Amino acid sequence: MAKNKDNVEQVRHSLAHLMAMAITGKHLEVKLGIGPIIENGFYYDFDFSGLDHSPTEEKLPVLEGFMKELIAQDIKFEKEEISAEKAREIFKDQPFKLELIDELEKAGEKISIYKSGDFTDLCAGPHVGSTREIDLDAFKLTKVAGAYWRGSEKNKMLTRIYGVAFESKKELGDYLKMMEEAEKRDHRKLGKELELFMISEEVGKGLPLWLPNGAFIRRKLEDYMYQKELENGYKYVYTPVLAHKKLYEASGHLAHYKEDMYSPIDIEGEEYYLKPMNCPHHHMIYKHGQISYKDLPLRLAEFGLVHRFERSGVLTGLIRARAFTQNDSHIYCPKSQLKAELVEVLKLFKEVYNDFGITDFWYRLSLPDFKNEEKYGDIKDKQMWEESAEVAEQALKEFGVKYEKGEGEATFYGPKIDVQTKNVLGKEDTIATVQVDFYSAKKFDLNFINEKGEKEHPVIIHRAIMGSFDRFFAFLTEKTGGNFPVWLSPIQAIIIPVGEKFNDYGEKVMAELKSAGVRAEIDAGAETLGKRIRAGKTKKIPYLLVVGEKEEKAGTVAVNFRDKEKQETLSVEQFAQLVQKEIKDKK
């Protein structure tokens, strides 16, 4: 059994190897792709073209059984370095392996194989010494998916089989429980069940349609941020969803970001692009008039719709979409104001996240890796980068928060502070960002008149408190499991009369609650009382108010809560006050 990270990774790699061994033992003609380790597990890609049978998720337990039979045989893993010529002979019927051998030979790298009994695989390793080091009860095959060879849509679609593996049966059990809970909280699943949003193939992949319930919550998020930003000195603008090619040439997006932009649109012989980011548009607004140091800081804000070309294989509901709306802002200020503005942005982050009950987040100072010439190769002013990174770090220290550093995570125009959290899968995720930009003002010739009457370039802060509304909405849906706080819930209370003769009282209660600002509806359907209560809880309505003879006589409601079994009796006025307080406190 594995005792440390290196060993558990060797176990995972060996399990991928054993899966291929089990598959080829049953299907000699199968073509093998690659079988690397990944976070928490492994996968292997197979080409079952022309075969009568290929694994489905229902068949994975059978495949697991074959693998366990192999493990029980105490099979050795033996490495051998061989020539490219010999490798081609061994894998003459394996086209994907032959492609890899050609690449290894061209790169001048060593070619090695691993033998396990009668099975041989092209592999650099490492593996465990023998299968006795693998815990039979600490791994599980999890899913079957399609995957293009080498990740390119131009290549053949293969069958990818995933598995997970840990050091112990308990760790595996804990992980599977987390995955089960994550599946329940998946915003795509809840989006369908709660009628929040949809994706239509007729409209297109990655282009979400917001349904009334989801649109209501999103509008609440927008209204909330609009008020917050107005209170903090932001000024709102609108910009179009496309722009002339020369704007993105000036911004550097066509040089650094073209692969993630859509193809140009020909308009009267000139090329236009769908907007991937709002910043160059805002720079044009800044440049519109003469700016004095007295006008700074200038904080421009927009709920800006952008379009980015995300490959179909990575599209994930609202988390990775091709069209989304950013909670965007660009702050223009002199260098002397930069640190203070960054601290104010960090304060706003904290205030907003506190209102949403988000406490499990931390900060990452994302820095460049100048060895990555593709991303940072044309950035010659290293001193500018060092200066902006130093100010960003000073702001984090002054704000008094813990942070980590991430080399190579900066944008092509400057370092940034990312707000990190763990998603329901336990993986680290970025939910918002603030970027320091000494670069764009020079490229766009943005200036202000300083105290000496001279022109000076401003520094630009790019910040998105909620990131995009789409992604934040998905994150919030998963964090709450669809149990949105009362102030965000499209329906805050459902009135459920116990019988038809109490419908009039139910209508009266609903009218009183609506006049008190409570979003209430009535369910006077023919279903049993129990079914209507369960239906309300399934829809995650915060309050289910049962009314009958006793409640009508007393002017009360029997309050059922979505997240607990107990029931309370309150007057209509008391209940309205309860909801009003929760709205005010944003619980």
For the annotated catalytic residues, the residue numbers are 279, 308, 326, 328, 330, 416, 462
Query: Who contacts 2 (Cβ-Cβ below 8 Å, separation ≥6)?
Result: 8, 10, 11, 133, 135, 167
Cβ neighbourhood burial of 107 (10 Å; 0-12, 13-18, 19+): exposed
Query: Who contacts 425 (Cβ-Cβ below 8 Å, separation ≥6)?
Result: 178, 179, 182
Q: Decide if 31 contacts 44 (C-beta within 8 A).
A: no
The first and second tokens of residue 217, run together, are 């919550």
* Residue tagged 């700016």 (tokens): 291
Q: Which of 511, 498, 515 is nearest to 552 (CA)?
A: 498
Query: Who contacts 296 (Cβ-Cβ below 8 Å, separation ≥6)?
Result: 332, 333, 334, 337, 448, 458
Indicate if the alpha-carbon torsion angle 427, 432, 434, 440 is positive or negative: positive
Number of H helices, E strands in the chain: 19, 28
Length of the chain: 587
**Pairing label, strands 459-468, 455-456:** unpaired
The first and second tokens of residue 480, run together, are 């709450």
Residue 342 to residue 320: CA distance in whole angstroms = 27
> What backbone torsions phi and psi does residue 108 show, to the nearest 5 degrees?
75, 25
> What backbone torsions phi and psi does residue 114 show, to the nearest 5 degrees?
-120, 130
**Pairing label, strands 361-367, 403-407:** parallel
